[in-house]
Amino acid sequence: MTPLPITKVLVIGYVWPEPHSSAASGHVMQILETFLQQGWDITFSSPAGPGEHKADLTELGIREVPIELNNSSFDAFVSELAPDIVLFDQFMMEEQFGWRVEKHCPDALRVLETSDLQSLRNARHQRLKERLKASDDANDFNELFAPALREEFELMADTDLAKREIAALYRCDLNLMISEVEIELLIEQFGLPQQLLHWCPLMVEPLTTASPAFEDRAHFLSIGNFRHAPNWDAVLWMKTTIWPLIRAQLPEAQLHIYGAYTPPKATALHNAAQGFHVMNWAEDALQVMSAARVCLAPLRFGAGIKGKIVDAMICGTPSVTTPIGAEAMHASHPWPGAVTCTAQEFATCAVQLYKDEIQWRTAQSQGQALLMDRYQRAIHGPALIEKLLYCQQHLPQLRKNNFTGSMLRHHAHKSTQYMAQWIEAKNQKKPPQ
Q: What is the per-residue pLDDT for 293?
A: 98
Instruction: Tell me if residue 43 falls in helix, strand or coil.
Output: strand
What is the spatial distance between Cα 318 and Cα 336, in angstroms, rounded to a whole number? 6
Region of residue 240 (phi > 0: left; psi between -120 and 50: alpha; otherwise: beta): alpha
3-state helix, strand, coil in the chain (%, to 5): 50, 15, 35
Is the domain 214-375 a CATH 3.40.50.2000 member? yes
- Helix (DSSP H) and strand (DSSP E) numbers for the chain: 18, 13
Alpha-carbon distances of 94 from 14, 142, 182, 316, 377, rounded to whole Å: 10, 37, 19, 38, 26
Q: For strand 174-177 and strand 41-46, is the pairing parallel, antiparallel, or unpaired? A: unpaired
What is the spatial distance between Cα 155 and Cα 190, in angstroms, rounded to a whole number? 12
186 neighbors 157 (Cβ within 8 angstroms): no
What is the spatial distance between Cα 221 and Cα 263, in angstroms, rounded to a whole number? 18
> Where exactly are the structural domains of the chain?
8-119+148-203+378-429, 214-375
What is the spatial distance between Cα 24 and Cα 118, in angstroms, rounded to a whole number? 12
Neighbours of 6 (CB within 10 A): 11
Looking at the DSSP bridge assignments, the partners of residue 85 are: 9, 109
Task: Encode the chain (433 residues) as per-residue pLDDT tens digits.
Answer: 445 578 999 999 999 999 988 999 999 999 999 999 999 999 999 999 999 899 999 999 999 999 999 999 999 999 999 999 999 999 999 999 999 999 999 999 999 999 999 999 999 999 999 999 999 899 999 999 988 999 999 999 999 999 999 999 999 999 999 999 999 999 999 999 999 999 999 999 877 788 999 999 999 999 999 999 999 999 999 999 999 999 999 999 999 999 999 999 999 999 999 999 999 889 899 999 999 999 999 999 999 999 999 999 999 999 999 999 999 999 999 999 999 999 999 999 999 999 999 999 999 999 999 999 999 999 999 999 999 999 999 999 999 999 999 999 888 656 666 666 667 777 777 665 5
Q: Which fold has domain 8-119+148-203+378-429?
A: Rossmann fold (3.40.50)
Contacts of 238 (CB under 8 A, 6+ apart): 222, 255, 257, 276, 296, 298
Per-residue b or e along 163-176, where b marks 16 or more CB atoms closer than 10 Å to that residue's CB: ebbbbbbbbbbbbb
DSSP single-letter state for residue 351: H
